[in-house]
């Protein structure tokens, strides 16, 4: 099956007539504690391994969709109209065409995280887009189907349909019907994420290209699936037992192992900058002085700190400008129900 066939299968017997124009949906960005790096199938964004994330509460994308009487979709990101010949426009408009048929729409995307800088902006965008389409056509899809549709836009978007801790099953089916994400039934109110944003610019090599290159050329990649599997088990146990040291240690080691596969790809992939490395050394220095502080890093230079509420004052002092998120605090989504 290709993307179009998967969508047709999920939407069979569903109405393609607009039931509600001008809908709004919000989806939180998510940060993987056990990473997704490598696809078993390209077109459907099917991963080689399971992955596990934590969502970023009020950090994410608010997407609204409205009918439009022009010959093309009108897509706006943070009040700026995307040029129709730009890559982001083409990718988003191709995705919209799968759902909207001949109809043309105006899509407004408001983000409160930097775009394409390794902060999961595309995950939040595609999840919010799918949630808004679900409202527009009143499909009443379950979370599993919504997660699969979001995955077709961007892999990690399937983890942004739900919030809190979320696991994405790699699955084995060729059509990916068993590759979706589900929330874990655990809350951890003391857990904090610190966003250290050094660079707001889009990354030079996309995750898609980076994964392809790594799987094709890194001699270390063959060790990754087993590492990811062991880390996933350790992280799930740590969450269930609220063992923060194991959670942090495993997440940091998982991120570093993913970056080791990237660095050993050819041409090499190196997303860290000197600021990233300085912040890593700062984390290690804090740990040497007895603090339970860890980091994770995605396909970009920005670092995400993992710590507990009790260390908030120290984190603010040592990492100036850090944006602290409580993933389990209820937030205002500006969603229109």
Nearest to 246 by CA among 194, 188, 203: 188
| Contacts with ligand PMV, 222-261, as mask; x by CB under 6 A | ----------------------------------------
CB 60 within 8 A of CB 113: yes
The stretch among 33-41, 73-81, 172-180, 276-284 that binds ligand PMV (CB under 6 A) is: 33-41
Q: Which residues contact 64 (CB under 8 A, 6 or more apart)?
A: 22, 23, 24, 25, 107, 108, 132
Between strands 181-183 and 46-47, the pairing is unpaired
269 binds ligand PMV (CB under 6 A): no
32 vs 191 by CB, closer to ligand PMV:
32
Determine the size of the site formed for ligand PMV (CB under 6 A). Answer: 14
CB 173 within 8 A of CB 179: yes
311 binds ligand PMV (CB under 6 A): no
Nearest to 254 by CA among 22, 37, 58, 27: 37
51 binds ligand PMV (CB under 6 A): yes
Taking the complex as a whole, how short is the minimal distance between the CB of residue 60 and ligand PMV, in angstroms? 14
23 vs 124 by CB, closer to ligand PMV:
124
118 vs 248 by CB, closer to ligand PMV:
118
Nearest to 50 by CA among 172, 163, 160, 149: 172
Taking the complex as a whole, how short is the minimal distance between the CB of residue 208 and ligand PMV, in angstroms? 6
Taking the complex as a whole, how short is the minimal distance between the CB of residue 285 and ligand PMV, in angstroms? 26
208 binds ligand PMV (CB under 6 A): yes
Burial grade of 86 (CB within 10 A; 0-12, 13-18, 19 or more):
exposed
Question: Please, what is the Cα angle at 41 between 12 and 89, to 5 degrees?
Answer: 70
Q: Which of 49, 50, 55, 122 binds ligand PMV (CB under 6 A)?
A: 122
Site residues (vs ligand PMV, CB under 6 A): 32, 35-37, 51, 122-123, 154-156, 207-208, 298-299
């Amino acid at each position: 099956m290709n993307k179009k066939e998967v969508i047709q299968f999920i939407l069979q017997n569903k109405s393609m007539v607009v039931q509600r124009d001008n809908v709004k949906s919000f989806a939180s960005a998510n940060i993987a504690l056990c990473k997704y790096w490598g696809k078993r199938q390209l077109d459907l964004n099917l991963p080689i391994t399971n992955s596990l994330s934590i969502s970023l509460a009020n950090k994410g994308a608010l997407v609204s969709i409205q009918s439009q009487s022009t010959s093309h979709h009108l897509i706006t990101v943070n009040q700026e109209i995307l040029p129709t010949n730009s890559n982001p426009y083409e990718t988003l408009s191709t995705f919209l065409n799968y759902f909207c048929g001949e109809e043309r729409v105006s899509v407004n995307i408001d983000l409160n995280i930097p775009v394409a800088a390794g902060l999961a902006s595309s995950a939040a965008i595609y999840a919010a887009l799918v949630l808004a389409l679900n409202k527009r056509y009143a499909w009443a899809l379950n979370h599993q189907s919504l997660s699969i549709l979001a995955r077709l836009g961007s892999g990690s978007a399937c983890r942004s349909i739900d919030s809190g801790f979320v696991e994405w099953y790699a699955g084995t089916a060729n059509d990916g019907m068993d590759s979706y994400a589900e929330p874990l039934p655990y809350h951890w109110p003391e857990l904090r994420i610190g966003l250290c944003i050094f660079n707001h610019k889009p990354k030079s090599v996309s995750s898609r290209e980076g994964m392809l290159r790594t799987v094709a050329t890194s001699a270390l990649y063959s060790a990754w699936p087993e590492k990811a599997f062991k880390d996933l088990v350790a992280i799930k146990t740590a969450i269930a037992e609220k063992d923060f040291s194991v959670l942090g240690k495993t997440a940091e080691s998982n991120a570093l192992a993913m970056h080791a596969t990237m660095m050993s790809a050819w041409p090499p992939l190196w997303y860290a900058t000197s600021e990233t490395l300085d912040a890593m050394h700062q984390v290690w220095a804090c740990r040497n002085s007895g603090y339970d502080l860890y980091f994770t890093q995605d396909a970009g230079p920005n670092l995400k700190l993992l710590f507990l509420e009790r260390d908030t004052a120290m984190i603010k002092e040592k990492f100036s400008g850090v944006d602290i998120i409580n993933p389990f605090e209820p937030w205002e989504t500006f969603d229109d129900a």
